[in-house]
Amino acid sequence: MKNREIRPAGFIDLQVNGYLGIDFSAPDLTVDKVRLVVEKLRDRGTIGFCPTLITSSVELYESNLPVFARCLKEPDLTRVLLGVHLEGPFISPDNGARGAHALEHVQSPSVRLLDQLRKLAKDGISILTLAPERPGALALIDYAVKSGITVSLGHHDADAETIRRACDLGAVASTHLGNGISNLIPRHPNPLWDQLDEQRLTATLITDGHHLPASFIRVVARVKGVSKLVAISDSAPLAGFSPGDYDCMGQKVVLEPSGRIWNPVGQHLVGSSACLLDCMNHLASLGLFSESELWQVGFHNPLALIKASVPSSPTSERVVWKDGRFEMGAS
């Protein structure tokens, strides 16, 4: 993995909820809005990403999944969009593990419903994040994996045995490890230790400087190693906006000058205001990885996780490494 013939032009982000006011989980989504996000993120160094739909109503899925199916047929979009990431609706209804996801739209794991969502997306679903401890989840994992969908464990409270069984059936990742979990957990055992211990799981981490302390990122990096780590942005629709009070993803939230987005009522974060370039630079600042290892975490590993090919980038701008950080520069 260290010696790559292809020098990446930018990064691959497996979790993008929206950007510059465009919400992938809003009912007014259009192909043109998706195209605008593609263009703006490409200018910020993201050359491939998975648009993410959070836990939503069936009606919203019926509206938005066909939009993404159309996008995946557009020549200028299909080389950037790497398939939909369904974050839910088969997650834990528990307040802590559920996080910013709406309780009323959480669904019990259902092969029938996932099959319906697959058809709406014209088989354009690349990642499914679910809670493996919920009744029916293991059967759903088996079905999803056999359907070619990457299964990731997230927004859950599963024990070690359930995590092991999920991996036996083909689950391969932990969605934003360290987030989407109850604020209070047992000292041990708990889902953090058990996912760290399970070496079949690749950890995706939101490395924006707000979601995780540096000490946690360092521990995960040491346990998992560079081959089992993926940086994601979890960018919210407010990413790219100025600080202020906003309505976002059905909630009243505050975007602080620091970039932190949070819900003061529920006391939880609501996605990130960062793009992956920002997240990769925060990760670089921790001094854990060399430049080539950072490219592995931000480019090669996410592509491998979803078994995707290298996207092409028509832009003349590319991400370059300079003075210990990434920045946009001419190719």
**Measured CA distances, 8 to 44, 218, 303 (Å):** 14, 25, 12
Answer whether 169's CB lies under 8 Å from 141's CB. yes
**Catalytic annotation on 13?**
no
Answer whether 216's CB lies under 8 Å from 190's CB. no
Q: How far is CA 311 from the centre of its chain?
A: 18
Long-range contact pairs involving 264-267 (C-beta distance under 8 Å, separation at least 24) = 266/95, 266/100
Say whether the peptide bond before residue 89 is cis (omega within 30 degrees of 0). Answer: yes
Helix (H) or strand (E) holding 140: helix 137-146
Structure token digits, residue 251:
């909630």
Burial level of 308, CB count in 10 A (0-12/13-18/19+)? middle
Residue of 28, 234, 245, 323 marked active site? 234
Q: Which of 9, 75, 3, 14 is nearest to 206 (CA)?
A: 14
Query: Where in the sequence numbering do the catalytic residues fall?
Result: 234
